[in-house]
Amino acid sequence: MTKQNIERMSLMNIIQDFMENGIKNLFELLGKELKNKGDFSKFVLELKKQLDSLGIKICKTALAAADEAIRIEPNGKNQWVVERRDKKTLLTTFGEIKYERTYYKSKKDNEYKYLSDEFLGIDCHDRMDLSLKAQLVKEAVDVAYDKSAKKTIESIDLSSQTVMNTIRELGEIPNITYKDQCQVEESKKTKVKYLYVEADEDHVALQNGKSVMPRLVYVHEGYEHSNSKRKKLKNIHYFSGIYNNIEELWLEVVDYIYNQYDIDNIENIFVSGDGAAWIKQGISWIPKSVYLLDRFHINKYILKATTHNHKYRFHIWESINNCNLKELDKIFKDLIDSTENENKIQQIKDSRKYIKSNWEGIVNYYKKSGAINCSAEGHISHILSDRLSSRPLGWSVQGVHQVSRLRAYTANGGAIYELFEKTLKKKKNYFYLSKKVVNSTMKNKCIEKFNNIESLNTGKKTGLNYLLKALRGA
């Protein structure tokens, strides 16, 4: 028995009532608003309310039909004994659905089950439908938990704690989609000459007053050719989260690269960042890697060294552009000699140390064919900071980890509903409904009631008449 068959049961009376009463009330409201030069938004809100109500009725009918079909199934009677009928409330995107389902006891091993719920993929402890959970989390990827609840459904009062607990159900969230996790045949792997890996981290405040650093690494194929002034990276994929062992992050990245790209065809993989040790560690994991220092951070340290003496900025940049380390040393010495303030001198020395310790990454930008500038700062802001650190929110470590991975997952094109389906995958249901039972239930709940609808048996050619006859013939 398919879910599509179940959903058709007993729907026609509901549809007729909606067409005859719900639609009538809606257009009366619309007429009133038009006469009074009212607000069309009121009509839209009322329409949503009516459609949600219709959705609840249809869902209740589907649940009741499934329960009845299982109860009259001969194969089920041989294996299960009816214990009682229990009430249940299930929250959905339509609103709150209250229904009854039958509780069974197994003749074989005395196991107890709500067979219709299990048949429809509803766990006995579920308070929310999977689609509602997915929508809550989808909203929480971009907005605070309390706002996520309000944006998802206004008719039900859901707390921030409920949204957080729903995210917790997902456990360890993948960075990339299930499609990208599938093994790609060698002949179908992408062939590129250059590949780019860029990395940075965010700083997020925790509830205990401390902070934590979620990492962000993304892989791309360079800039797309476009007439637009705004440059766009080609085939970008993100990896994020909190890693106690940074090797785990780089292994994720390396696995993705080997799975998606023809490594033999790649000339260089450029690894770019701000010079942090954890980023440089990626070079030892990624094949054919060449390190590049992010020019944003070069400029940051040059500005820091020359805040009191701007004329040296040009000379420092000139020596860097010429890859002349000897000249750079001389310029920094002159800058120090012309500075009296000890704090300023220390800033100059710090800047010199930073540039010299990353000199290879600076030179590679000029010497290696295919090298491009790193854009990690913008991606940190877009993927992590906008949600995690741009506003004063008190996070837990687990919350930061899960939300950062969710943002990477969705940025990679991942669907939250699919994530829930894979993570909370129910045990395979072996309960079988015979064709005879399906046909009988369809006849009792749908077809006979459908044929008895008054609108179908009148001679009037109304919109409702045409609609219902079309549905009957579907």
pLDDT in tens, 229-287: 778 899 999 999 999 999 999 999 999 999 999 999 999 999 999 999 999 999 999 99
- Rounded alpha-carbon distances, angstroms, from residue 442 to 1, 60, 116, 120: 11, 15, 16, 17
pLDDT in tens, 145-170: 999 999 998 888 999 999 999 999 99
Mean pLDDT (the chain) is 85
Provide the pLDDT for residue 15.
65
Distance CA 241, CA 397 (A): 10
Asked if residues 16 and 33 have their Cβ atoms less than 8 Å apart, the reply is no
Distance CA 299, CA 314 (A): 11
**Average confidence (pLDDT) over 21-44:** 69
Provide the pLDDT for residue 448.
46
Provide the pLDDT for residue 4.
44
Distance CA 5, CA 46 (A): 30
For residue 173, pLDDT beyond 70:
yes
pLDDT in tens, 65-110: 888 888 887 777 778 899 999 999 999 999 999 999 999 999 888 8
| Amino acid sitting at position 351 | S
Q: Which of 82, 86, 57 is nearest to 70 (CA)?
A: 82
For residue 435, pLDDT beyond 90:
no
Is the alpha carbon torsion for 353, 356, 362, 366 positive or negative?
A: positive
H or E element that contains 89 = strand 80-91
Q: Which of 269, 294, 287 is nearest to 197 (CA)?
A: 269
Provide the pLDDT for residue 465.
52
Provide the pLDDT for residue 36.
66
Residue 279 main-chain phi, psi, to 5 deg: -75, -45
Would you call 209 exposed, middle or buried from its count of C-beta atoms within 10 A (0-12, 13-18, 19+)? Answer: exposed
Distance CA 199, CA 26 (A): 54
More confident: 40 or 14:
40
Q: Percent of the chain, pLDDT > 90?
A: 59
Distance CA 302, CA 355 (A): 9
So where are the chain's domains?
3-123+426-472, 133-168, 178-419
Distance CA 216, CA 240 (A): 5
pLDDT in tens, 185-222: 888 999 999 999 999 999 999 999 899 999 999 999 99
Q: Which of 455, 452, 447 is nearest to 472 (CA)?
A: 447
pLDDT in tens, 316-339: 999 999 999 999 999 999 999 999
**Average confidence (pLDDT) over 120-140:** 92
Asked if residues 365 and 186 have their Cβ atoms less than 8 Å apart, the reply is no
